[in-house]
Each structure stands twice: as structure tokens, then as C-alpha cells.
Structure 1
């Protein structure tokens, strides 16, 4: 597709889990730019779209995605892909997100029966990746389940006739999220008490979670819990405003990789890795808007 497509390709995918070539896992035939070979690959989107343009996916995210996928598949070898594409082009980036591959040199393409068997075998592998992705809250590059849930609820509220659903299969209920949040508060409380602070849980009444006091010192602590690696958390407008006002007497405590037991009644949570940022300075460039309130002049009644 397109004038820039040095490397022709065609893909096989689940339309829910990989609605676009830039999203999710899929199988793809990648044809070398010089026609010398073709690869049947299990790949992830190599490019991301921002501001109407395509950019290569970040190297650290790509490495994490490939490491995760190969672990699910029990694959140890990194495929060697040569697409003969111009360095820095979109085609050259396709090779960066290939987890496993089968190579077909131009002068030794196998029979249709072998090609079909290879596709079926790779589809089985793709099924394994899709199944793991649906239940693993720590897939690199995926937004945490609580972020996905918040976005879906906001979209449903803003556009109730056309609510959008994400392809991410991992979900948390309100009861499960409550268990995760309480586990995070417990872990953070134990940490600050161990450091000599007197800790009060004020999350039900204030725009922060823990009020910590130690002699003349006072610390306003925001606590976030997640089953994901904790690369991003949700903040409300009030939370951002309060912590900007209270800086430097503030802290962010993120408890990531919490283990959730959905079989318990009510659900229970355990484990978790604590990271504390104090003082916590919130920069504008670190915030991403999930929704907007529009009060434009066009909505004002002139009568």
C-alpha cells in the first residue's frame, strides 16, 4: 500500500484485538524490497501515529513486547530479518517488531501444502499470544486496565449512543478495583509508618489518600495501585491541583504488579512493588487529557 511501501505486506489478524496495522499482534507476510525473499512473521505494529504522522515505536517498548511474546511462545531465538529496505524507512522498521518468523528464499519457495501448514501453525501461535494478552495485565505497551476502564466510561458518558470498547481483554470490576486500591493503601501506610510517620487514611474525604505527620513535618501522599507495571496512573483535576499547591510537602506512592485473586468473595489483593516519589512535581508534559468539558460561546443562549 502507498508510494512509500518498499516492503509489500499482507496480514492476518483478529479485527477486535488488532483493528489496525499499528495496533496489536498479527501474522504478516513481509516481502523484501529487492524481491529476494519473503517472511511469514508473528509481529506487532512497528509504527505509531501521532499528529497525523507515523513514527517508529519506541525501542524500549518494542524490546519489551518481543521479550513478552517470545516468553509466551517458548521461543528463544531472535529471528534474523533482512528486508533490504532503506535504513530509517517504514519498511526497515517492520523487522524490529517480529517475534518469530519463517523465511522463504525466492529460489526455494515450498509447496502450497507446506505454506498452508506453516500458516496454520503460526495461527496457533497467534492464538496463544491473544489468549495471554487477554489475561495478562502486564503486557508491555498496554495501558493499565484501570486506565482502559476510565477511558471507556468517559467515552460512554460523552457519547452514549456509540460507546467504544477496547480490544484489551483484561478487565477489573468495581469490587476488584477496590481490593487493589486497599492493598496499595496498606502497602504505602506500612512504608511511611516504618519511616516514623504517623499515618491517617483520608482518601474518603480528601483529594489525597494519606495524611502523614512526623514532628513538625507534614506530607500529603497520593496512593495509586495497579496490577500492571505502573507506567501510568489516573489523576483527577482536584488531585493535580492539590499536589501542585502542596509541593514540596507531597508524595506519590505507586504500588504496581499487585496480585489480584478474583476467586475470593469479596476479591482480595496481595503483593505489589512500591515506588515513592517525594517531593512530587507534576509537569504539564507528563499529563494526558482523557476528556474535556466544552463551554464554548456557541452554546450560550443569546435570548
Structure 2
């Protein structure tokens, strides 16, 4: 494989947007030779991807129409990343001057808009890559040798979005690298990608509001393309584990402030009655496996309660859980970062409707029509 990577790197300085002989040779190396060599590692890479290796895929691009300065080859789980615009995957990138290539873990950086590929906003890419790095840090204690900075040196704007969409990167010199190093780095990248996929399956890449919106969409459009719901798959026991942990963390936080706490979640549209110095606050608790909880879902009754009793309610947000799964044992949640507001005003937040219950008026039975 290293010989192929060297040949591609040597052709990079001869870049042209036209299909010159050099670009034809580079295209064949990218789309055929290198793809074949990565597929040749399918057994070991799919094994490292574990439950996400059963639909292992490899694909490449050296440009759509015009040739690109930044060709790439990626491997991925088809259900977690059905297209290069969706989800996360491991990618091999090449510098424009041929001095380096990188093995990376990154996410889709573009969307189709008006028939063209358009870059996602920098803030959205930063949010996605920071989340993926936090997953790797939590599971592995750091990114090891995948902490390099990727700098492709391309002049066009689109390849620069690839840099912004990279969460983890390891740089290689094409002249001073051996095949064994490449294979080991690809295996390490697959391990990082596996944990990112597992975190996606827990919904930790989504805010509570986004997760709820996806579920509502699934209820409203059960026959819609399942790819739209890719990456979300918490089981009932896992949801329950998160709920229990959020309540425990919230109760500990309230009691640490000197409140006496009563669990009211089973019979009331709020979770705790928290009392201190004769004053009682109705507390809403929201928990998520995500790293933040800036958006969440509330029912109509919950919203009306906080509007009606503004100043006498509270909000406790608990995020960044880690689910512990063991065979034959119900899952549990550990960790959790707590942020709370006593005397919370829902008026300070924006309320966005995401679904409606549609009730048809009562009417006589429709007359049948014969064709």
C-alpha cells in the first residue's frame, strides 16, 4: 500500500482540474488501486469495527467532474455513513504538494444545495469534531498518535472544509513510512471510529430536542427513509438508565444546595418538589448522553406549568453520561455534568414547535364512489 500512497503523493504537485495524463494516472491509483488495497484489509478492519463491520464499505473520489486538489479514500459502516455527507468515517487525505498524507477520522463536511456541493458552516463542523474527540478521549484517554494537525495546502475552498471536518489525524511522510505502520494506523482509526459509532447509537451526538424530533418524525412518517434517522438507537433499558442517573445527579445537586427533595415524577408534570426555607420549587430534570443540553423537548403540560408558575420552578440539565453495558445485566449510566437554575424563567428561551396532533372534525361517513 505504501508504494501506491507514494505514487499518489508524487502526482499531487502535477494537479490540474482537467483530466491530464497525470490526473488520469492519479485517478486510477485513487479509485482502483488504493481502494482495492484498503478492501484487502476488510477482514481486520471490519473486525475492529465490531458490530459496525458487517456492512463495511470503501470508496474514493478524485473530483466530481473537474479534478480536485484533495483526493481521498474512506472506509465506513454503510448504515452509519450511507454517503460521504453523512456521519463519520476514516479517511486517507493527501497534501497538495505531495509532502504528506494523513489517516484521519472525520465527518461529512458538505451538503447538496442547488445542484452543487456546499460547505457546512464552520460552527457546525467544529461542534461535530469536538464531540468525536470527546468520545475518543473518554474511551481511550486520548487520541494517541492521532493528534496531528491536518493541513492539505489546497487553494480551493472545498478541500479546506475537509480539514475543518477532521476530528483525529495522523501525519505520514510518504518517503519514510513502511506498510506495517499504515496497516496499524488504519486499524487504530477503525477502533476510534467504532467508539464514535457506538456513541452515535446512544444519541450522544444529538441534543435532546434533535433526538425527540427524529423520533417524532419516525412516528409521523413511519415509511420514510431510515437513513434520515441514522445513528439513533437507544433501547428502552438504556433510556431508563439515563433517566435514573439524571434524577440521581439532579437530586444530589439540589440536596447539596440545602433543599429537601421529593420525587414527584410519577404523578406530576415535574420531577421534584424542592423545598428550602418554606419555599417550594417545581423542578424539571432533563438528561442526555450528549456533551451539552442546550436544546431539549418538553410536553405541552410541562411548558404551560413553567409559564404559569414562572419564578417558582427550576430546571436541572444533566449531560455527558456514559452507558455501561454488560452481557446479561441491565445497562447503567455513570458520570454526568449538572447545570441547574432555581427560579428558572421559560420566557428567556425560544419555543419551537416540532409536531402537531391533527384532529379531524366529526363528520358523516364519506359516500363511497364506484369507478
Shift of 1:173: 2.6
1:14-44 CA-to-partner distances (Å, cap 9, x unmatched) read 3222223333332445455x66567343241
> CA 1:183–1:62 in 2, change beyond 3 Å: closer, same or farther?
closer
Q: Structure 2 CA distance, aligned partners of 1:143 and 1:295?
A: 30
Q: Which residue of 1 aligns with 2:169?
A: 100
Structure 1 equivalent of residue 247 of structure 2: 185
Closer, same or farther: CA 265–19 of 1 in aligned 2, 3 Å: closer
Corresponding residue number in structure 1 for 2:275:
213
Deviations along 1:264-293, one digit per CA (max 9) or x if unpaired, are: 755444443321123333468755655444
Alignment correspondent of 2:148: 78
2:342 is aligned, of 266, 270, 278, to: 278
| Bigger fraction of residues in helix | 2
Partner of 2:218, secondary structure, is helix
TM-score, with structure 2 as normaliser: 0.61
SS at match of 2:120: strand
Go from structure 1 to structure 2 and tell me whether the alpha carbon gap of 1:65 and 1:41 turns closer, same or farther (over 3 Å shift). farther
After TM superposition, the score normalised by the length of structure 1 is 0.72
> Do 2:322 and 2:333's aligned partners in 1 also have CA atoms closer than 8 Å?
yes
Q: 2:121 aligns with which of 33, 53, 56?
A: 56
Judge conservation of contact 2:281–2:342 (CA < 8 Å) in 1.
Answer: no
- Long gaps (5+) in structure 2: 1-62, 367-371
Distance 1:226 1:238 in 2: 21
> Would the alpha carbon gap of residues 253 and 168 (structure 1) be closer, same or farther in structure 2, given more than 3 Å must change?
same
1:253 and 2:316 aligned: yes
8 Å CA contact retained: 1:56, 1:93 = no
Residue by residue, what CA displacement relative to the aligned partner does 1:226-257 show, whole Å, maximum 9, x if unpaired?
A: 33324343322332332233222221112233
Which structure has the larger Rg over C-alpha atoms?
2
Check conservation: 1:152, 1:164, Cα contact below 8 A.
no
Partners of 1:69 and 1:179 in 2: CA distance? 19
Uncovered stretches (5+) of structure 1, i.e. residues with no partner = none
Instruction: Tell me how far apart the structure 2 counterparts of residues 186 and 29 of structure 1 sit (CA, whole Å).
Output: 44
CA spacing shift, 1:141–1:118, aligned 2, 3 Å? farther
Compared CA separation, residues 132 and 209, structure 1 to 2 (3 A):
same
For the pair 1:130 / 2:193, whether they are aligned, the reply is: yes
Q: CA deviation at 1:258?
A: 3.7
Aligned alpha-carbon RMSD (Å): 4.4
1:25 matched to 2:94:
no
Deviations 1:197-227 (A, max 9, x none): 3332221222211122334523121012233
Q: Find the aligned partners of 2:247 and 2:136 in 1 and give their Cα distance.
A: 35
- The counterpart of 1:91, out of the listed 155, 159, 170, is 159
Equivalent-residue separation in structure 2 for 1:175 and 1:140 (angstroms): 14
Contact 2:288–2:321 (Cα < 8 Å) also in 1? yes
| Deviation string, structure 1 residues 87-109 (Cα, Å, up to 9, x no partner) | xx22222223332245567xx69
Equivalent residues of 1:39, 1:104 under 8 A apart: yes
| Alignment size in residue pairs | 291
Please name the residue that 1:42 is paired with: 104
